[in-house]
Amino acid sequence: MALRRRSNKGKSEPRRGTPADLLVVGLGNPGDKYEGTRHNIGVEVVLELAARHGGTLKKSREAALADEIRIGDFRVAIAFPQTFMNRSGESVRPLVRRYGIEDITRLVVVHDELDLDPGRFKVKEGGGLAGHNGLKSIRDHLHTTDFLRFRIGVGRPPEHMRGADWVLKRPDRQDRDTLDHVVINATDAAEALLTTSVADVMNRFNV
């Protein structure tokens, strides 16, 4: 059965055209005050993909900034939900429909990870969500955790700071330089998924 999406008026519409080979979603919060924060590191991967391949994120009906880009012979959808992190699933579910992602393992969710030090990057298939509210929202709306995760380490906060406050801060210069390199690594990994297996991508890019 073809996947269907809903317009703002609630009418179901079929997916038109060829489905995307991959949907890459960068999690974060919308608005200038959140730009460059640890919580928005996933968005930076989507922006890097757009910059490399001539994409322009535009407002979509799915409460996201989104576009389709071409990478070689492949169609890749990229998106930044505008629902705020804790409600990411409200945007991701209709994006999955819009771009015809029937195999949920072709959905890549890029996000910050407190349990990894800055500079670490891990590709993960399914499994636990480590308390990440954006991932929980996606799970609740898709009813699965089988989507692929790109975990970008931002490290644990100092003892006196809550994790929520830590991720909403911008990193210092040293961590910023480190994260810039990880964004490039994660973007390369997303491109590699088009032509190689998840296991091979893990072996090549996990650090």
- Looking at residue 18, the DSSP 8-state letter turns out to be S
C-alpha to C-alpha distance for 147 and 106, rounded to whole angstroms: 7
C-alpha to C-alpha distance for 31 and 21, rounded to whole angstroms: 29
> For residues 67 and 205, is the Cβ–Cβ distance under 8 A?
no
- Looking at residue 156, the DSSP 8-state letter turns out to be P
Is 39 catalytic? The answer is yes
Selection from 75, 64, 55, 29 nearest residue 167 by Cα: 29
C-alpha to C-alpha distance for 110 and 45, rounded to whole angstroms: 7
Catalytic residue among 39, 111, 132, 160: 39
Active site (catalytic) residues = 39
